[in-house]
Structure 1
Amino acid sequence: MRTGSEPTTARSALRARFWLSVWGMAWAIFGTAAFALTGRLGWALACGVLWLVATVDLAVILRHLRQGPHYQPGPDIPPYPPTYRPPKS
């Protein structure tokens, strides 16, 4: 719910998230390969799961970047009134 106290220029740090995701994915790929080559399959599996999570996160970030900025009401738009729900008896 919009309360009216949101910053008018707030933006998500998607580019920072993008580069952190790329960095994490690179380390997960390296860890998966290194542990698989040394025969530590449990650690290789853990790094593989981390690689999968970083890949999904990267896909979500890229989707949000491609969507572009969304409409945000300006300071001249009053906040939405809270919805009133009568208590259940």
Structure 2
Amino acid sequence: MRTGSEPTTARSALRMRFWLSVWGLIWAIAGTAGFALAGRPGWAAAFGVLWVVITVDMAVILRHMRQGPHFQPGPDIPPYRPPEHRRP
């Protein structure tokens, strides 16, 4: 719901999120390989799951980056009224 107090130039830091995900992906791959070579299958599996989560997050980030900026209502658009709750 829009309250009318949002900044007019607010944007998500998608590039920063992407590069932090790359950094996490590198560590997840290294952790998976390291624990697998050390004979710790539980930790290797945990890092493997983390690897999958980071990969999905990166896909979502890239999708949002490719979509480009979206329409944002300007300051001349009044805030939306909250929905009225009717009790039976």
TM-score clears 0.5:
yes
**Which amino acid in structure 2 is aligned with residue 55 of structure 1?**
T
Q: Deviations over 1:34-68 (max 9, x none)?
A: 11111111110000000000000000000000000
Query: Taking structure 2 as the reference length, what is the TM-score of the superposition?
Result: 0.95
The 5 Å alignment of 1:1-89 reads: 1-88=1-88
Question: What's the CA shift for 1:85?
Answer: 2.7
4+ runs deviating over 3 angstroms: none
Cα deviation digits, residues 5-55 of structure 1 (max 9, x gap): 111111001111101100001000000001111111111000000000000
Unaligned runs of 5+ in 2: none
Q: CA deviation at 1:87?
A: 1.7
2:74 partner amino acid: G
Unaligned runs of 5+ in 1: none
Q: What is the TM-score of this pair, normalised by structure 1?
A: 0.94
Instruction: Determine helix, strand or coil for the equivalent of 1:47.
Output: helix
Q: Deviation at 1:83?
A: 2.1
Alignment RMSD, CA only?
0.8
Identity %: 76
